[in-house]
Copies of this chain bind each other. A is one copy, B any other.
């Protein structure tokens, strides 16, 4: 049997109440007794029972993190940071993978979120209505990489990311740029499209439609790029950008000599290919840390939405367009 608070109290010759205070409200107990209790607790290897504590305090010590796909390096990076920051504040993290399924997502948050001290919804695919239902629960909920239902959220500046990428391509001489979009329901994808609208007339944008946010989606989009006549393509994320590069090359198109490619995220794999991917870097670890800080913060954040900056990282997949001027 595990050693309980009463065991500690008995061994220290004090009441359970005093033992409890000595450990969780040290100021309320006389210095010598406090130290005595703490020493005894350490010697006995006492670990407070989370369940009992939760029952009375209402706080479980657990945070719940929901992601669409743990194997996607974007979410893995956020999960790692969340986990690390949560530990620093004494919380364990229950991580649930919703398998890109909005229905499962809603079910999981209902099931797991009920007894968590806070819920982090990373890139949820569910509708604003479902988000609203979730928000109806009293526990704090925070959206990561998504806005909606008036919930507090932390996101990145998607529009600025698009602006930076296109500005870079424009400076290189590109005048016709394609956008290979992510899944239809993606909030961040919608924001990027907004950004493309707001660009002005210097660059013509060709919309290639929605694709699965993975390597295969990029492969599919590559053929559309060639048909579009664009000299550069912006992908919804790095995985798609990789698929684009691969397929373009397979069709005899040089990257970046013939077509430039820009990704989004700056996931570790972006540097594992040759040439390394030019991409709009998201502050993934910071996203995770900020999310925990806001969720656990003393009060609701002043602004419902916290926006983190992004930064274009120019590497090997962008270059001036081939010279097509008439001689």
A268 interface residue (CB < 8 Å to B): yes
Query: Whole-angstrom distance between the alpha carbons of A249 and B316 in the complex?
Result: 15
With A92-B96, A246-B272 known as contacts, the answer to whether A111 contacts B47 (CB < 8 A) is: yes
A60 B70 Cβ-Cβ under 8 A: no
With A51-B115, A76-B71, A269-B269 known as contacts, the answer to whether A93 contacts B92 (CB < 8 A) is: no
Chain A, residues 268-288, CB within 8 Å of chain B (1/0): the string is: 110111100000000000000
Would you call the interface of chain A mostly helix, strand, loop, or mixed?
Answer: helix
How many residues of A are in contact with the other chain, CB < 8 A?
46
A272 B274 Cβ-Cβ under 8 A: no
A76 B70 Cβ-Cβ under 8 A: yes
> In angstroms, how far is the closest chain B Cβ from the Cβ of A65?
9
B114 A272 Cβ-Cβ under 8 A: no
B77 A92 Cβ-Cβ under 8 A: no
Query: Whole-angstrom distance between the alpha carbons of A83 and B51 in the complex?
Result: 22
A227 interface residue (CB < 8 Å to B): no
Query: Whole-angstrom distance between the alpha carbons of A239 and B71 in the complex?
Result: 15
Report chain B residues within 8 Å CB of A2. Answer: 114
